[in-house]
Amino acid sequence: MNNTNNYPLTFSDKEYKALAELIFIRSGIHFGDSRKDLLKSRLDPILRRLNLNSYDDYLNLLKLNTSEYLIGEMINEVSTSHTLFFRHKKQFDFFRKDALKKIIASKISFNNQELNIWCTASSTGEEPYSIAISLIEELGFNNNWSINLLATDLSTKSIETAKSGNYHSEQIKNIDPIIINKYFDKKYELNNSFYSIKEIIKCFVSFKRLNLITDKLDFEKKFDFIFCRNVFIYFAYSEQHALELKLINALDKGGYLFLGGSESLSIENSCFMKHLGQSIYQKL
């Protein structure tokens, strides 16, 4: 029997537990007891597209399917998060007006004009492009700095959206019109308008798929800034603790770590960092 858009899909605790365990094994993302409705809302559209009548059918399909496509599609849906340009404005103000100036002054004193920045969960690109714009606003287009801005995410779907650099008007409504005019081009397609990040900003950002939990984080150079905002909420404590150590190890001495507004480092790992307030840390 084929499914329809109005066909009710039940989701038992047993099915939830099985899917949550599979997602955890493949991505490190933790779905606790209180997130059943969230997971269902993310996966229901997949079941309807596949014309499946139940989550039991979906689980069987995942077990029988030998390709990675269905697993990848599931991970894409559960790892995609809502984001905004210049989200947490106070953090961006601190980044540009305080932290960036201090890092630049320190680098110049050592005759070093290279900035290394990592956006760990870039989603659909709003955060790394906000970082790039902030850098250009401070340094100007014609500067002598070598800027390496790495943007990673677990979702291949989100990365492709980020690479396109295309956003509808609702997604940029909170950006200063002056910034929009400087860094976005308004385009039209099939009677619809959208805004596209200028190529001169795109070229600053390198996108890469990365699993923060299961992949080895092996970088050639330490980072001056790491943005890992609203990421810890997806992981159990043990995975969060391990990720914190990875981030601290990847950060250069004196470098800055930006977390989500409600996030903080564990007590065990905070001894390596100075808390500056607003979920911002500096490596000692």
Range of the domain at 64: 13-79
Domain contains 64: yes
Domain contains 3: no
Question: Do residue 157 and residue 95 come from a single domain?
Answer: yes
Work out how many domains the chain is built from and give that number. 2
Question: Do residue 163 and residue 37 come from a single domain?
Answer: no
Per-residue pLDDT of the chain (284 residues; tens, 9 = 90+): 454 456 678 899 999 999 999 988 888 888 888 789 989 998 999 999 899 989 999 999 988 866 678 888 898 888 867 789 999 999 999 999 999 999 999 999 999 999 999 999 999 999 999 999 999 999 998 788 999 999 999 999 999 999 999 999 989 988 999 999 999 999 988 778 899 999 999 999 999 999 999 898 889 999 999 999 999 988 888 999 999 999 999 999 999 999 998 899 998 888 899 999 999 999 99
Ramachandran region of residue 61, left (φ > 0), alpha (ψ -120 to 50) or beta?
A: alpha
Backbone torsions φ then ψ of 209, nearest 5 degrees: -75, 135
Give, in order, the Cα–Cα distances in Å from 231 to each of 62, 109, 149, 153, 252.
Answer: 26, 34, 19, 11, 21
Parallel, antiparallel or unpaired: strands 192-197 and 184-189: antiparallel
Question: Do residue 116 and residue 65 come from a single domain?
Answer: no
Residues in contact with 41: Cβ distance below 8 Å, sequence separation at least 6, in sequence order: none
Note the pLDDT of residue 278.
Answer: 93
Question: Do residue 271 and residue 161 come from a single domain?
Answer: yes
This prediction has a pTM of 0.86
Any long-range contacts for 28-33 (C-beta under 8 Å, 24+ apart)? 28/211, 28/212, 28/213, 28/214, 28/234, 28/235, 28/239, 29/75, 29/78, 29/79, 29/154, 29/234, 29/235, 30/234, 30/235, 30/236, 30/239, 31/78, 32/236
Cα 81 from Cα 125, distance rounded (Å): 11
Question: Do residue 95 and residue 30 come from a single domain?
Answer: no
Question: Do residue 202 and residue 139 come from a single domain?
Answer: yes
Backbone torsions φ then ψ of 120, nearest 5 degrees: -75, -30
Question: Do residue 41 and residue 144 come from a single domain?
Answer: no
- Inter-residue contact 146 to 204 (CB < 8 Å): no
Note the pLDDT of residue 248.
Answer: 97
What is the total residue count of the chain? 284
Note the pLDDT of residue 1.
Answer: 44
Domain contains 146: yes
Of 79, 107, 137, which closes a domain?
79
Note the pLDDT of residue 5.
Answer: 57
Angle CA 182–146–207, to nearest 5: 70
Of 79, 102, 137, which closes a domain?
79
CATH of the domain at 119: 3.40.50.150
Domain contains 5: no
Domain contains 119: yes
Question: Do residue 22 and residue 103 come from a single domain?
Answer: no
Domain contains 4: no
Question: Do residue 130 and residue 255 come from a single domain?
Answer: yes
CATH of the domain at 50: 1.10.155.10
Question: Do residue 187 and residue 129 come from a single domain?
Answer: yes
- Inter-residue contact 55 to 238 (CB < 8 Å): no
Domain contains 175: yes
Question: Do residue 56 and residue 185 come from a single domain?
Answer: no
Question: Do residue 99 and residue 153 come from a single domain?
Answer: yes
Note the pLDDT of residue 3.
Answer: 47
Of 60, 79, 98, which closes a domain?
79
Residues in contact with 190: Cβ distance below 8 Å, sequence separation at least 6, in sequence order: none
Note the pLDDT of residue 247.
Answer: 97
Domain contains 102: yes
